Structure 1
Amino acid sequence: MPTFEITTASADDLGMLGDWAHSEGWNPGLTDGQAFFAADSGGFLIGRLDGEPVTSVSVVRYGTRFGFLGFYLTRPSLRGRGYGMRVWRAGMARLSGRTVGLDGVPAQQDNYRRSGFRAAWGNARYEGVVPAGLAPPAGVTLADARTLPFARLAAYDRRYFPGPRDSFLAPWITGPGRTALCAVRDGELVGFAVLRACREASRIGPLHADSPEVAAALLSALAATAPDTAVAIDVPDVNPRAVRLVEQLGLAPSFDTARMYAGPVPEMDRSGMFGITSLELG
Structure 2
Amino acid sequence: MADLEIASASAADLQLMRDWAEEEGWNPGDSDRFAFAVADPRGFLVGRRDGVPLACISAVRYGSGFGFVGFYIAHPSVRGRGYGIQLWRAGMAALDGRLVGLDGVVEQQDNYRLSGFRSAWTNMRFEGVLPAAAPPADVELVDARDVPFARLAAYDRRFFPESRDGFLAAWTGLPGRAAYAAVRDGRVEGLGVIRPAAAAHRVGPLYAATPGIAAALLHRLAATAPGEPLAVDVPDANPAAFALAESLGLAPAFETARMYTGPVPDLDLPGLYGITSLELG
For normalisation by structure 1, the TM-score amounts to 0.98
Q: Structure 1 CA distance, aligned partners of 2:198 and 2:136? A: 33
Listed as ranges, the matches of 1:49-198 within 5 Å are: 49-133=49-133, 135-198=134-197
CA distance in 1, matches of 2:278, 2:105: 10
Deviation (angstroms), 1:3:
6.2
**1:31 equivalent in alignment to 2:31:** yes
Residue in 1 that maps onto 2:6: 6
In 1, Cα distance between the equivalents of 2:126 and 2:2? Answer: 43
> Residues 7-34 of structure 1, C-alpha deviation per residue, up to 9 Å, x if partnerless?
1001221111101111111101111110
Following superposition, the deviation at residue 83 of structure 1 comes to 1.1
Post-superposition, which runs of at least 4 consecutive aligned residues in structure 1 deviate over 3 A? none
Q: Deviations over 1:218-254 (max 9, x none)?
A: 0000100100000000000000000000100000000
Shift of 1:260: 0.4
Residue identity in the other structure for 2:115: S
Partner residue, 1:243: 242
CA contact (8 A) 2:131 2:227 kept: no
- Note if contact 1:2-1:50 (Cα within 8 Å) is conserved in structure 2: no
Q: Secondary structure at the match of 2:26?
A: coil
CA drift at 1:200: 1.1
> Percent of pairs identical after alignment?
63
Unaligned runs of 5+ in 1: none
SS in 2 for 1:159: helix
- What whole-Å deviation, never above 9, does each CA across 1:153-182 have from its counterpart, x for those lacking one? 010001011111111111101112100000
Cα offset, 1:263, TM superposition: 1.6
Q: Give the CA deviation at 1:75.
A: 1.3
C-alpha deviation, 1:204, in angstroms: 0.5
Secondary structure of the corresponding residue to residue 33 of structure 1:
helix
SS in 2 for 1:173: helix
CA gap of 1:3–1:62, structure 2 versus 1, over 3 A, is: closer
SS of structure 1 residue aligned to 2:137: coil
Partner of 2:233: 234
Rounded to whole Å, the distance in 1 between the matches of 2:222 and 2:129 is: 8
Corresponding letter in the other structure for 1:60: V
Output the CA distance in 1 between the equivalents of 2:173 and 2:220: 17
| Distance in 1, Cα, partners of 2:128 & 2:234 | 13
Q: Distance in 2 between matches of 1:138 and 1:23?
A: 43
Q: Which amino acid aligns with 2:208?
A: A
Deviation at 1:137, TM superposition (A): 2.1
Paired letter, 1:107: E
Residue 46 of structure 2 corresponds to residue 42 of structure 1: no
Q: 2:27, 2:271 → 1: CA distance?
A: 24
CA distance in 2, matches of 1:238, 1:2: 42
Kept in 2: contact 1:129–1:231 (CA 8 A): yes
After TM superposition, give the deviation of residue 2 of structure 1 in Å.
5.9
Q: Distance in 2 between matches of 1:14 and 1:250?
A: 34
Counterpart code for 2:65: R
The corresponding residue for 2:217 is 218
Structure 2 CA distance, aligned partners of 1:240 and 1:90? Answer: 36
Counterpart AA for 1:212: P
Shift of 1:262: 0.7
Q: Could you say what the CA RMSD is over the residues aligned between the two structures, in angstroms?
A: 1.1
Work out whether residues 126 and 251 of structure 1, in 8 Å CA contact, stay in contact via their aligned partners in 2: yes
1:131 touches 1:249 (CA, 8 Å); kept in 2? no
SS in 2 for 1:121: strand
Aligned length: 281
